[in-house]
Structure 1
């Protein structure tokens, strides 16, 4: 598990940069390890990413909650409380079409008090202004008006969110662009790789911005040369 300073270092970078940096380690195909379109940042401070360890659950809202399911919710709280660092609550709504929101001001307040920094939910959220006040990030596929018969169906289990399987304890990085799972074996080196990824783009970004300021249009030969230099910088990287 990363310490506070290491986690904060990762929050400095946006999630696209993190995805770029993970590629340097060649641990997985470039088409894997991140969420597909559908996850939207609904509330909470979107100026910085959230980073934390996954606490997982599946929920439904069609049928009334049973006593056993009520106790499952208490166990979900216990799972969040047990995480030493920040947690991200990962919820999969199992209904054919989400009709009831697990998230509102009450649940956001509870989980924020237990050390959670936000949620990734394949389902709904509501009471969105409360997430801004609490500093609890709402990322979801839906916005819903009712909680209907919302209840917890399973905890501490793999969940499917926007095409990505998330397992309990996975290290997650998420922002307004989406989310990714950070491979544990490279987590402590990822911030340095993010710095290198950002720096490797400067041979293109820098000259282009200078051209914008001068009101000039770079030639195609300029762009070819700058892209070649960026490629050369990336070839030097070895993680």
Structure 2
């Protein structure tokens, strides 16, 4: 399956959440390779093209009127690195030619207003569609329904020879949907082994996350079970 409807909100195998004619993605972490290289890692700069392809696939498949980027569009906490500035501008221009673009501020998005402002793209701390609050998730908030990101949830599976496969995943309860990172570099927390205190978001720290359903992304959406049941078998 490529889509699952959860109380009127669709999660998809293309990393996006759909609410009406709005597509939501999160955690692009543009410029991540530059930060890793600065820290001594030998890694090529390949993420931008993957992100553009994933975004284009979402637009071609679902034809949204608007794309919301739900936080951590860029990676560096401090000033805008040259790679971030160039790639962030290129991706925002790429999207702006096809759809309306809205940005939700994440904890990595310092100085983002400088880049977005040149293109006339608004930035919000939170946004609401049809009574559903969209927030990055790094700060506490209250709402009847929430779409959040920040955790980069993934499911780590070990094969017969011991190799580990990391599958990005959605977490879902009746009230909250947690989005996977669109970035191929940001694998995040392993939900099959994480304890409640391991989650970064104050929103999830007060939740019984073991009761959340897991939908992993491979070539399609793969439903596993509730997190609590996964911990007993993986």
Q: Could you tell me the TM-score, scaled by structure 2's length?
A: 0.32
Q: Which fold has the larger relative contact order, with Cα–Cα distance below 8 Å and residues 6 or more apart in sequence?
A: 1
Larger Rg: 1
Q: Which has the higher helix share?
A: 1
Taking structure 1 as the reference length, what is the TM-score of the superposition?
Answer: 0.31
